[in-house]
Structure 1
Amino acid sequence: MKPYLYTIAISFLLTAGKPVLAQVRPLTMENAVKLALEKNRDLQVANLETTKSAQKVREARGYALPTVSASAQYLYFPQKQVSFLPGSFVGLGENQLATFRVGGSNAFVGGVAVSQPLFQAGIGSGIRAAQIYENASAEALNEVRAAVITDVKKAYLDVLITQEQLRLQEQSLVRNEQVLKDSRSLLAQGRASRVDTLRAFVSVENLRPTIIRLNSQVEITKTVLKRTMGLDEQEVIDLQDSLHAEKPVFAVPGTDAFFEAVQARPEVHRLELTEKLNREQIALQTAERAPKLSAIGLIQSQAQANNLKLAEYSWPLSSYVGLQLNVPIFSGFRAVSRIQQAVITRQQSETQLVNLKEVVRAQVKIGLSNVEEARLRIETQRQTVAVAELGYRITRDRWKQGIASRLDLSDAEFSLTQAKSNHLQAIYDFLTASVELDRTMGRAK
Structure 2
Amino acid sequence: MRHTTYIITSFLAIPFLSLQLAKAQVRQLTMDNAVKLAIDKNRDLQVATLETAKAAQKVQEARGYGLPTVAASAQYLYYFNKQVSFLPGSFVGLGDDQLATFRVGGANAFLGGVAVSQPLFQTSVRSGIKVAQIDGLATDQALADVRATVVTDVKKAYLDVLITQEQLRLQQQSITRNEQALKDARSLLAQGRASRVDTLRAFVTVENLRPTLIQLTNRIGIAKTVLKRTVGLDEREEIDLQDSLRYDDALFVSPGTDAFLDAVQARPEVRRLELIEQLNREQIALQAAEKQPKLAAIGSVLSQSQANNFRLGDYRWPVSSYLGLQLSVPIFTGFRTNSRIQQAQVTRQQTEKQLANLKEIVRAQVKIGLANVQEARLRIQSQQQTISVAELGYRITRDRWKQGIASRLELTDAELSLTQAKSNYLQAVYDYLTATVELDKVLGRIK
Give the TM-score taking structure 2 as reference length.
Answer: 0.95
Q: How does 1:270-285 map to 2 (within 5 A)?
A: 270-285=272-287
Aligned mates of 1:248, 1:128 — CA distance in 2: 46
Aligned mates of 2:12, 2:84 — CA distance in 1: 90
Describe the shift of the 1:85–1:11 C-alpha distance in structure 2 as closer, same or farther (beyond 3 A).
farther
1:209 shift after superposition: 0.6
2:361 is the counterpart of 1:359? yes
2:415 is the counterpart of 1:443? no
- Which residue in 2 is equivalent to 1:192? 194
- One-letter amino acid of the structure 2 residue matched with residue 352 of structure 1: Q
Aligned partner of residue 324 in structure 1, secondary structure: strand
Point out 4+ residue stretches in structure 1 off by more than 4 angstroms: 10-20, 246-249
Deviations 1:146-205 (A, max 9, x none): 000000000000000000000000000000011111101110110000110011001100
- Which residue in 2 is equivalent to 1:389? 391
| Aligned partners of 1:125 and 1:283 also within 8 Å | yes
Aligned partner of residue 94 in structure 2, secondary structure: coil
- Which residue in 1 is equivalent to 2:132? 130
Aligned partner of residue 210 in structure 1, secondary structure: helix
- One-letter amino acid of the structure 2 residue matched with residue 356 of structure 1: L
Deviations 1:4-27 (A, max 9, x none): 9xx99x979996996862611000
| Aligned partners of 1:248 and 1:375 also within 8 Å | no
- Which residue in 1 is equivalent to 2:295? 293
- Which residue in 2 is equivalent to 1:155? 157
Q: What percentage of aligned pairs have identical amino acids?
A: 73
- One-letter amino acid of the structure 2 residue matched with residue 363 of structure 1: Q
- Which residue in 2 is equivalent to 1:434? 436
**Number of corresponding residues:** 440
Q: How does 1:144-223 map to 2 (within 5 A)?
A: 144-223=146-225
| Aligned partners of 1:157 and 1:432 also within 8 Å | yes
Q: Which runs of 5+ in 1 are unaligned?
A: none
Describe the shift of the 1:423–1:321 C-alpha distance in structure 2 as closer, same or farther (beyond 3 A).
same
Describe the shift of the 1:328–1:71 C-alpha distance in structure 2 as closer, same or farther (beyond 3 A).
same
Aligned mates of 2:258, 2:142 — CA distance in 1: 25
- One-letter amino acid of the structure 2 residue matched with residue 146 of structure 1: A
Describe the shift of the 1:211–1:83 C-alpha distance in structure 2 as closer, same or farther (beyond 3 A).
same
Aligned mates of 2:327, 2:11 — CA distance in 1: 83
- Which residue in 2 is equivalent to 1:21? 22
Q: Which runs of 5+ in 2 are unaligned?
A: none
Deviations 1:98-151 (A, max 9, x none): 111111111110000000111111111111111100000000000000000000
- Which residue in 1 is equivalent to 2:401? 399
| Aligned partners of 1:68 and 1:114 also within 8 Å | yes
Aligned partner of residue 222 in structure 2, secondary structure: helix
- Which residue in 2 is equivalent to 1:33? 35
Q: How does 1:3-402 map to 2 (within 5 A)?
A: 21=22, 23-245=25-247, 247=249, 249-402=251-404
RMSD, aligned CA: 1.9
Aligned partner of residue 55 in structure 1, secondary structure: helix
1:284 shift after superposition: 0.3
- Which residue in 2 is equivalent to 1:423? 425
1:92 shift after superposition: 1.6
1:248 shift after superposition: 5.8
- One-letter amino acid of the structure 2 residue matched with residue 21 of structure 1: A
Aligned mates of 2:440, 2:248 — CA distance in 1: 20
Describe the shift of the 1:113–1:154 C-alpha distance in structure 2 as closer, same or farther (beyond 3 A).
same
Aligned mates of 1:13, 1:52 — CA distance in 2: 57
